[in-house]
A and B are shown apart, each in its own frame.
Chain A
């Protein structure tokens, strides 16, 4: 009971502070600069047990006769066949992908001083964890396996599991003359 009372009191007292929300002027805003950047951790799972489709071709991963991975098909010519990334499934996870703006004016074997500009720096996560990541590269006559006259040639499949080392920074900046 005491707790609730003090809570209510707190609310009343806070209310009486009358702090006003004030719009920030353009000039003021221009002086604000982002400092920390962004730190991202990711855990992405694709079709671990199977996708949403269930038909003659797609199904649950527990069903050995069905494909349970995702499928991406793309075409480079109208009325032509399709390049396919098929049976995409697995889990990727990483920790410590960073994003920030950085000013480069030294280093790079002397290139930095002449460069003297801001770049967008993507800090790679050092290690990317793959858990049973699988995909098949194929060529196919139709975009969907349910299409008429579907024929597909699987060229190769890749299976990845474990840690992949990916260290360093990717620097992105505009080139050419604006």
Chain B
């Protein structure tokens, strides 16, 4: 079943993104949610569904406690737990639930605390048995992918660094970014210490506190709710593996499950890469953006490094990606991280990106990536006016 026209984002809300907000996960979730409901000009009683994102910072699930904390009674109260892919997946699930009549206005909220401060004690089977004992962290898993990509295709440090530098330029025009007031050059990235080869520190995302919420509404009601609905026209999800040692990316030329997720989403929306005006691509590391561009089909496999070198990824450029700075510059609020990428695309499509507004923006594509290029969700979003 295609989701085209069935559901639309009608409002969004955010907290500040801070290293130490002094607030807990429910306070942050509530703040973003109330902003989102007001943004959509809806009442509390209009919200009949909630989908939360499984947090990294606490052991609890959020869905039932948060519904009560916020004071919402609903016909849909769910939580998605696909690591960093949860943001896209939650929006997909919201659209699907609306399409089958399970709810009419779903609050999708991701909230998390800086994982350097608070970390869930949740047992992570298999990862904890066979990988963590070798000291594996995401830094190392993504570094291995970046190393292999360089070995196979000649991708360079400068190409990867340009992703972080172009996004920092974008962040310098967004007040909400954690690193928005700091400029950054290729040399700055080069001079930051190497953490796990080939990654320098400034190629690695910085965790923070924060929450983002969206309202997803029944497509046929969307234009009554807002003048600027953003339709979820395509949604594709694909889970390839969990642990990095079981991944196929090291034997298939570094092709991630994004390829299949994007194929599903693009086909559902009836678009090709030529139709895309703005992108919000999961950017936990510089290499993630390059691999996503390749696997979505904007260039051939192996040419992603050259592609980012030849294109301007800023909001002023010919290939605008992560126009608020992405997670690399805005910060990564745990499993809600991909919402940073998604909310900026929504702002662009609603015409609310202020000084960063990309002109004639009609189609946006986002990707949410979980684990180690493990679990992927691509959304095709369309301006609805």
Partners in one complex: no
Q: Which residues of A pack against B, CB within 8 Å?
A: none
Q: Which residues of B pack against A, CB within 8 Å?
A: none
